[in-house]
Structure 1
Amino acid sequence: MSSTITTEQRNSELARRFYAELVTGPHPELLEEFVAEDAVDEASGGTGGREDFRAHLAWIAESVGGVTATAVDTVAEGDRVVVFWRIEGVHKGDLFGVPATGRRFAGHSVSTITFRDGKVVRYRVLPDRLGIIQQLGALG
């Protein structure tokens, strides 16, 4: 039996670690380990590079206290991984236009992460904004 790990398995494990080690906390000191210098974080709306990821992590830290981000499932093909993940924490700052409520919430997101040489080069996320906003009591 072969113990060779495939590119897909390696990238899926990196994606899981991305959420567990980098986003949970968050831990921006791990950016160089996980993110290529020329990476693009499409969620940040920036111009590219690790600083966009740093800004995204800072926004999470300002918005969500005690954040836990967990990859629930992954689907990988080649250099791309689709991650179904869950975020949990306390709403402590502006989140999707809703001022801090102090409420606990849990939300689901789907992300696409592209890897090159074991590092993230492109990140795209589709969060369940409506579900989160409802939990924060911002809708009717």
Structure 2
Amino acid sequence: MSLDVTADVRALYEALSAGEYEKAAERIPDTMLFLNVATGDVGRGRGAFLEYMRGWAAAFPDLQWTSIDVAGAGDRAIAEYEMTGCHTGPLLTPQGHVPPTGMDVQLRFCDVLEFGEEGMSQLRSYFDSNTLLRQLGLVSGSPLHAPDRRAPLELYAQTVDGTARERHKSIVRRFVLDVLNRQNPQAAVDTCSNDFRWHGGSLGQANDLKAYQRVLVTLFTAFPDLEVQVLDTVAEDDRVALRFAMSGTHLGEFQGVPPTFKRISGSGMSTFRIDESRIVEEWWQGDVLVMLQQMDVGPAKLRLSR
């Protein structure tokens, strides 16, 4: 690694230490893959990085990042830093929101950064989630645990939510992460009801969860590396609207088109209906024609759902 790149990485974490998230994000290419190893969350580019950092800032309004060390060799760098703050805002997790506990947190992080021709190509962020839970008083039996003031661990980030809107958005985010980005149709049982109905626009319809899981199997066979990036979420009453970008490599049959081995990307929107903490219905809209055009074919007979 050149000294210039090492200096660039150091400047990134110095900007974080100063609370200048926008300035730090200027050093993140839109193509960079961001992975939160502790939670399994995956994102890409400046937007994902800013969403991650602003999530911490919302949960810990007095947040302080302290850069400890940066070291680099070849096309990789490692950054060690520390977070301190008081938990007075909702903390977003893959399972939902943890309401404020009023607890002080001091947590060490380690990031591994990889570089390519366009700069940073991947950032993997590591921290000990159990240490975070213990310091928040959410681990039974820990010295900080106070059952009269803290949520028990089995309720962590689920029914202890402060608002239905945030809880509903968290359920949808968990669905995107566990089902779509991990290409795991079986995981849908954790977030969807058995009578879940899927309205796929030009792709057809699935009238129960098992039928929808078959749709997913077909989709993941066509795009084994499918990645869905959440761009916006809006919740009101029992509905969550989600705007997304998606990409994947066409390695299996899709809409009657044999594998082209092309990288396909697109965007769309989904509206989810939530009932009793389960997704019971989804209306999906994506530009399938654009995807087909990227495969160098015209409109094909749509037959994804059965």
What is the TM-score when the length of structure 1 is the normalising length? 0.87
Match of 1:36 among 180, 188, 193: 193
Match of 1:127 among 273, 286, 293: 286
Give, in whole Å, the separation in 2 of the partners of 1:54 and 1:110: 19
Give, in whole Å, the separation in 2 of the partners of 1:18 and 1:128: 21
Q: What is the RMSD computed on CA atoms of the aligned residues?
A: 1.9
- Which 4+ runs in 1 deviate beyond 3 A? 1-4
How far does residue 130 in structure 1 lie from its aligned partner after superposition? Answer: 2.4
Match of 1:6 in 2: 163
Note if 1:116 corresponds to 2:275: yes
Residue 74 of structure 1 aligns to a residue whose secondary structure is strand
Give, in whole Å, the separation in 1 of the partners of 2:281 and 2:226: 22
Note if 1:83 corresponds to 2:242: yes
Greater length-normalized contact order (CA 8 Å, ≥ 6 residues apart): 1
Residue 87 of structure 1 aligns to a residue whose secondary structure is strand
Q: For structure 2, which runs of at least 5 residues remain unmatched after alignment? A: 1-87, 90-98, 100-160, 299-306
1:70-126: per-residue Cα shift (whole Å, max 9, x none)? 221111111111111122110122324433201011111111111111111001101
Give, in whole Å, the separation in 2 of the partners of 1:136 and 1:120: 32
* Aligned amino acid, residue 98 of structure 1: V
Match of 1:57 in 2: 216
* Aligned amino acid, residue 112 of structure 1: T
Match of 2:296 among 118, 137, 140: 137
| Contact 1:86 1:107 survives alignment (8 Å) | yes
Residue 228 of structure 2 aligns to a residue whose secondary structure is strand
Higher deviation after alignment, 88-97 or 78-87: 88-97
Match of 1:92 in 2: 251
| Contact 1:96 1:129 survives alignment (8 Å) | no
What is the TM-score when the length of structure 2 is the normalising length? 0.42
Residue 225 of structure 2 aligns to a residue whose secondary structure is strand
Give, in whole Å, the separation in 1 of the partners of 2:181 and 2:295: 20
* Aligned amino acid, residue 9 of structure 1: E
Q: For structure 1, which runs of at least 5 residues remain unmatched after alignment? A: none
Give, in whole Å, the separation in 1 of the partners of 2:162 and 2:229: 22
| Contact 2:197 2:205 survives alignment (8 Å) | no
How far does residue 66 in structure 1 lie from its aligned partner after superposition? Answer: 0.9
| Contact 1:20 1:70 survives alignment (8 Å) | no
Note if 1:45 corresponds to 2:239: no
Note if 1:68 corresponds to 2:223: no
Note if 1:19 corresponds to 2:176: yes
* Aligned amino acid, residue 173 of structure 2: R
How far does residue 27 in structure 1 lie from its aligned partner after superposition? Answer: 0.9
Give, in whole Å, the separation in 2 of the partners of 1:30 and 1:15: 13
Give, in whole Å, the separation in 1 of the partners of 2:243 and 2:270: 7
* Aligned amino acid, residue 10 of structure 1: R
